[in-house]
Amino acid sequence: MLKCEPEGFKFRKPIEITLPTCYRNVEASPVSVKICHKTNDSDWEVLTQCLMDQTTRSFTFQTDHFSIYDVICTVGKFIGLMKETAIILAVPSYEQEIVSEIVAHVFICDNIKSTKDVTPLNLVFDKIISLRNQRQDVQIKVSAENTIANPKEHIATLEGSRDSWQFCLTRPENENWKHGIKEFKLKISFNNSNQPDIVKSVFLEKRHLTQPAPSHVTNINTEGGALHF
């Protein structure tokens, strides 16, 4: 969904708007969708119809005014689209030389660009997966040998465009996370037989805990039997 303001502002000539998505087309031919604009608090009106650009994964259309725009398609056509989601693991920087306890942050985001935006954390691991169902239950675990994880797991339902969880990982007897390379395992289990679990060994190095943090959405809902995303 894209909101252009001031709403209702009209142009002398049509302008071109591109709506990026976090979906990819899994069918042989591009998916045709309707571009709609909101006419009041509850009603949508079809503005035009267009195809997904297979390269940029976006929809481009023309309009002569600002409004709230959204892409709408039938359930049947939506089956031909697959949502790409970023799974991210990041940690903070620590000034002290001996660090026996760290906080690992796990994100599940519906925007691929989120892998570049974990400020003020440092990116350790990222992976792009495809989700056919946006809302589903997940179980997230971060574990390592000789390490106490608090909590041991998170059980949650994916709700929005960016969900996140934290794990406090403590090494015994003040063992230093900054010394050498430490391995821990990230496991994300989906309560969906069609969605493969994610099991990944992640290697944490001193640079992940000392480097300065970098300087530097699309929800789905149904209205009237159509899908907005």
Domain boundaries, the chain: 2-79, 84-210
**Based on C-alpha coordinates, what's the Rg of the chain?**
21
Residue 139's pLDDT is: 95
Instruction: Write down the pLDDT at residue 128.
Output: 82
Report the pLDDT value the prediction gives residue 220, as an integer from 0 to 100.
Answer: 38
Contacting residues for 54 by C-beta, under 8 A, at least 6 apart: 25, 30
Residue among 35, 12, 78 at smallest CA distance from 225 = 78
* Fold (CATH) for 84-210: Immunoglobulin-like (2.60.40)
Q: How is domain 2-79 classified at the CATH fold level? A: Immunoglobulin-like (2.60.40)
What pLDDT shows up at residue 113?
Answer: 60
**pLDDT recorded at residue 159:** 72
Of 28, 33, 36, whose CA–CA distance to 75 is shortest?
33
Q: State the pLDDT at residue 135.
A: 72
Residue among 65, 28, 31 nearest 49 (CA): 31
Q: What is the pLDDT of residue 89?
A: 93
CA distances in angstroms from 154 to 91, 140, 181, 183, listed in the order given:
17, 5, 25, 20
Please check whether the two domains, 2-79 and 84-210, share a CATH topology. Answer: yes
Supply the pLDDT for residue 134: 63
Mean pLDDT per segment of 10 residues, for the chain of length 229 residues?
A: 83 88 64 77 82 79 86 63 80 92 90 67 87 78 92 87 89 88 92 85 93 48 45
Question: Tokens 């946006």 appear where?
Answer: 134
